[in-house]
Chains A and B, each alone.
Chain A
């Protein structure tokens, strides 16, 4: 099956055996493709003794996500690269560089659209971007935030940024924007208004500013991502996040997603029951730290993600530094097929003993 055909399959329709068959064939194909076209991947493949033709998705060899920070890895001629994604990277770290050719970039967009339509419908609806316009300044070099905004923007029939470049909430424009919606589209059932933003930005800027604004967004659906690390530092739980949002603007349909710049497009959306879901186009495997063997369902492990999309760079199977737990497969009460899981966040940093250069910095 071609990538395009795969992406035509409804995103939460395949059950275990069918999905395994589909993924295995495609992922084996990608391993071969990258081995032939990406010299760095070929070196790793040889030295690490990667499995030649995996017999199951669990046997598909993986790279560590941070490899894209250290190396410029691509499986296409540099002249075919149309976009370079860079991950935000935690402070002080090198960002990941993800090289996209036209086909991979389009597939990312299509996969995202397919996944999103399951949550907001296939009709485009008015959209509020809970961020500022300057995030998108340089179109050739995207930050993860910029890529996210751009990727999700296609679901908006018309769009407005909630903040100006000084991160001040533009209440008047928002009110005017909302006023037009209620006249035009509010009659129907589904979502009438899409809100999109990054978890931390929403908490830090939107919740505070919206409190005094009196905006009513109760007819909206909010999609947010980017992780909880900063919020966890402030001891903000997902429950509190949702409660606060509801309090400040009446919104109750809030969906987090798990995803990474290294596998853009294949986001793992949170369903109505708070579970993250793997779509037909990707999958998650939890691995035990001791030997990377596969965890049982319900057992906490290191998250590996596989995706059918990455053709222009060897990112089809990646070991992350996040911890998670598979909750089940094909039987989530929300009705979506595939694995559903929970994310615990970043692995705890290693504590090590030793003596070199350990004098406290002065």
Chain B
């Protein structure tokens, strides 16, 4: 591990023994992190830090704990190596805290990119660990420039790996040997979509419409549509032009107020729309200004997974029934957000039609809410082992 900068902890901590899942020491530590984060003045400036602090409140962790009745018979798998993504600043912290709840000895590689959030959160973790010796001896944060040699070294000691960052990273890390029983939780490239009920949009009063538009904004624009869970395609049930205009009009006015539209994104979206007009079954490109582009499709494109969009660029298509959703769901599909539809109805279609995609169905506005069940994995259970006795 020569060349790795140890931000917190040291290499010899990798010999520590695991803890039981939802151990009180872990729960208290995380609750402590929460109150420190929530009291931080910076929380006001960084909504992602505030969201992290909110997620790890004592009450919410206790609820997760209650959801794991067999916790007394579960132990962390051992060393968990986290390869955090380079572009979502707070993700490394979530990954780490999941590992803490699972009872693992956590080695987190933080991104080399300089996000202010990284430093702020690391400082909170460092300070909090001082009062939690049992967690402190199981927490290692490292940073190093791209170097497969160092990564290989960490992998060799790994009993579990949390691999964020997409297909390429997953392939690269998995090619490196780990402990024979190592479990990998891989977060590959995923896409997401949204199902809207046109009638429900028509019925929505101003308040509800506003919340819907803000929710959609948070799911998409907030991360420039680059998060795997950001919907790119909107499917319309009970479709009508009036409903579409009402919904998108509300989204546009939120985006006009809140989104920082960069000039390079404006020309990029224009180019993208012109290209799509040639290569895809596009009926209309609708844009009143450059904040929002809507590409009305008249049929399902052949390679639905190749669709891209960022900075306020969406595809939309009418479907006659929920079942029709199946034809655009591939194994790359992660999240379905919905409005005016029952979540169970969507899940039911996925199960009944035995689809390879869709791991989560959440209301519009919750696409980004990360939790211990993510991408179809029950992370705390996956990072721990169950000890049976008969």
Contacts and interface: CB of A to CB of B under 8 A. Distances in A.
A357 B168 contact: yes
B223 interface: yes
Given A47-B282, A358-B85, A348 B264 contact: yes
17 contacts: A48-B274, A64-B270, A64-B274, A289-B290, A290-B261, A321-B267, A350-B262, A350-B265, A352-B224, A355-B85, A356-B190, A356-B227, A357-B189, A358-B86, A359-B111, A359-B165, A360-B113
Given A48-B273, A64-B267, A71-B278, A355 B262 contact: no
Contacts, number: 140
Nearest to B288: A291
A358 B164 CA distance: 9
A215 interface: no
B147 A362 contact: yes
A347 B225 contact: no
A46 B277 contact: yes
B249 interface: no
A354 B83 contact: no
B311 interface: yes
Contacts of B261: 289-290
Given A43-B278, A355-B87, A350 B268 contact: yes
A347 B263 contact: yes
Given A64-B270, A353-B224, A358-B87, A323 B263 contact: yes
A354 B289 contact: no
B190, B222, B264, B284, most chain A CB atoms within 10 A: B264
A352 B282 CA distance: 26
Contact of B290 (A63, A64, A291): A291
The 10 closest A-B pairs by CB, nearest first: A354-B226, A359-B165, A362-B146, A357-B166, A358-B87, A47-B277, A291-B289, A289-B263, A64-B271, A359-B169
A48 B285 contact: yes
Given A40-B278, A64-B271, A356 B262 contact: no
Interface of B: 83, 85-88, 91, 111-113, 145-148, 151, 164-169, 172, 189-190, 222-228, 261-268, 270-271, 273-278, 282-285, 288-291, 310-311
A289 B278 contact: no
B265 to A, nearest CB: 5
A70 interface: yes
A70 B275 CA distance: 8
A66 interface: yes
B290 A290 contact: yes
Contacts of A360: 86, 111-113, 145-146
B226 A355 contact: yes
A66 B284 CA distance: 21
Interface residues of A, number: 37
A331 to B, nearest CB: 28
B214 to A, nearest CB: 18
Interface string A278-294: 00000000000111100
A354 B87 CA distance: 6
A296 B32 CA distance: 55
Interface of A: 40, 43-44, 46-49, 63-64, 66-67, 70-71, 289-292, 302, 319, 321, 323, 347-362
B176 to A, nearest CB: 11
Nearest to A45: B277
Contact of B262 (A48, A67, A351, A359): A351
Contacts of B86: 358-360
Among A302, A321, A362, the one with the most B-chain Cβ atoms within 10 Å of its Cβ is A362
Given A64-B267, A350-B311, A43 B223 contact: no
Contacts of A347: 263-264, 267
Contacts of A71: 275, 278
Contacts of B266: 289-290, 292, 302
Contacts of A359: 83, 85-86, 111, 164-166, 168-169
B263 A355 contact: no
Given A356-B166, A357-B166, A360-B112, A67 B274 contact: yes
Given A354-B88, A355-B85, A362-B148, 12 more contacts: A47-B282, A289-B267, A289-B290, A291-B288, A292-B266, A347-B263, A352-B310, A353-B226, A356-B189, A357-B167, A357-B189, A360-B145
Nearest to B173: A359
A63 B274 contact: yes
A139 to B, nearest CB: 31
B291 A349 contact: no
Contacts of B172: 362
B88 A302 contact: no
Contacts of A321: 264, 267
B241 to A, nearest CB: 15
A360 B224 CA distance: 19
Contacts of B227: 354-356
A175 B278 CA distance: 55
Given A47-B282, A67-B275, A290-B266, A355 B88 contact: yes
